[in-house]
Structure 1
Amino acid sequence: MCPPQGALPPGREVLSRPAPARLAELCNSLVPDGRETITTDGEPAQSEAAKEERWLAKGVALRAFFYICGTHLFAGFVWLLFYLGQHAQK
């Protein structure tokens, strides 16, 4: 049983009869209610919750990257102040 055609974004259709080589993959990709999730472009159809979860994970990674970079820049600035203070003419 396939989901209704309107359930997927435009340009993506659900495969009704997969190739035999992909049968095992298709059996493992069934959602709990038995609908197929493999589409014609080879990517699984995703729910809005899955898309939002991926977006949140990207946001966390991006935030961590900026925090780490900012901390290193601040530490470098403090190190530069100590270096310049040590070599100042007294």
Structure 2
Amino acid sequence: MSLDKKQVKEIAYLARLSIEDEELEQSTSELNNILSLMDDLNEIDTGDVEPMAHPLHMSQRLRDDEVTEENLAEEFQAIAPKIGKSHFLVPTVIE
């Protein structure tokens, strides 16, 4: 797959990126290089590779889950104009 300058400008607009005309040629070339690399990677047969959750065969050490702060939700919600069941209610504005 190859992109032209017009497509790169459209992608930049959708991504809310500002690409000046002087940068357009280089950006187009770089994006085409990335897409070419993705095409190369798609050609690799990974059918017999087992999916991994972590690149290294190791388990993650986790700390004990302990509550270290007291629950101040009622204090914080006491000054709120509207609350639900332990959450703030945000008024909706319909115009």
TM-score, normalized by the shorter chain, greater than 0.5 = no
TM-score normalised by structure 1 residue count: 0.29
TM-score normalised by structure 2 residue count: 0.27
